[in-house]
Structure formats: structure tokens, C-alpha cells
Amino acid sequence: MDLLKKRIVEDGTVLPGNVLKVDNFLNHQVDTKLMDEIGKEFAKLFEGEKITKVVTVESSGIAPALMTALHLGVPLIFARKHKSLTLTDNLYTATVYSYTKRVSNDISVDKRFLNSEDRILIIDDFLANGQAVQGLLEIAKVANVQVAGIGIVIEKSFQKGRSMIEKTGVRLESLARIASLENQKVTFVE
């Protein structure tokens, strides 16, 4: 998606540890017009997939996932993060290691919001090693819902997430694919 790539080049900064900072348009201050275009693009890519719900993890997945859900005309569910869960009877849960925060969190979705008739689209802001997506796939499996696809705003293709997802056979669509962040420079996959 050219509009997104242009914005990454203009406004993204590369931090140590292969972290791309995009907090002035994606995950702190949010460019709502760009998010709308991102939502439209995912909705176009996955139209015809009979998606019933869009699922993400709080908090930075919410903006692109919300716009995607709006354009698909379906509800958005965001898994909630907790330090560690004790009472889990009415929750689907998974443990996710955060790439940027370097801590593990349990994520959870209330059982009322997913059922076996659902066909979900997973959306997230970034794909690094695939931990967040894996947590959502685990929840989908236990909830017995079908996963129609995974939509990622910015994929760091030099990390392990893509190959992990490819092994599951689930369709993956990324709007910007980064080949390298070496020397503080963003290089896209051709």
C-alpha cells in the first residue's frame, strides 16, 4: 500500500532492537484518514471471505482493526491484556510475550463473543515474531472458530512471524513489508 509506505518513510524512526517507531500516525497519535484507507484495503482484500468478526489485541491493534470491521460491516473484538489471570472460567486465554515491552501477558476474550459459527479475521499493527498472532490463533482454536485470514499493517519480514504463519496455512496479507531496518533505514520487500 503506497500511501502507507510513504508515511513510514516520512514519519517512521528506527529504534535499537529492530523496532520501528510510528507513534505519530499508528499507535499513539492516530491518523484517522490513513486508518480509514487501511480499513478499506483490508476489507477489499478479504471481501468474499464471509467474515463475521474482526479480532485484535489491545491496544495498538484496535485502530486498524476497528476501521476494517467498519468497512466489512462486522463487530470488532479486542483481546484484553492482563498481567496474569486467575479466574478464567468464562474466558478464552493465551499467554503472549510482547516484542516491544519484553514481558509476558495473558490475553483474553470473553466466551460470549466467539462461537463455533464465527469466521474471524485477525488484524494487528505489526508482525515481528508472531507471538500476538499465535495467541489469537490459540484462542480461535479453543473457541472452535474458523480463521479466514490475518491482516497486518506493517510486517517486519526479516523476523520469524511470517514463516510461523505460513506453516499454519492461514492466509496472510501485509500492507507494508519491511526487508530491513539496518543503519536506521527502512528498506521494503520488493
Q: Output the nine-digit C-alpha cell for 24.
A: 505519530
131 binds ligand 5GP (CB under 6 A): yes
Give the footprint of ligand 5GP on residues 19-38 (CB under 6 A): 19-22, 27
Nearer to ligand 5GP, 151 or 161 (CB): 161
Stretch in the footprint of ligand 5GP (CB under 6 A) among 14-22, 86-94, 140-148, 165-173: 14-22
164 binds ligand 5GP (CB under 6 A): no
180 binds ligand 5GP (CB under 6 A): no
Stretch in the footprint of ligand 5GP (CB under 6 A) among 29-37, 74-82, 106-114, 130-138: 130-138
161 binds ligand 5GP (CB under 6 A): yes
Is the preceding peptide bond at 59 cis, omega within 30 degrees of 0?
Answer: yes
Beta-carbon contacts of residue 16 (< 8 Å; ≥ 6 apart): none
- Rounded Cα distance between 67 and 160, Å, is 27
- Work out which of 43, 72, 91, 128 binds ligand 5GP, going by CB under 6 A: 128
Q: Which chain residues interact with ligand 5GP by CB under 6 A?
A: 19-22, 27, 60-61, 99-100, 124-132, 161
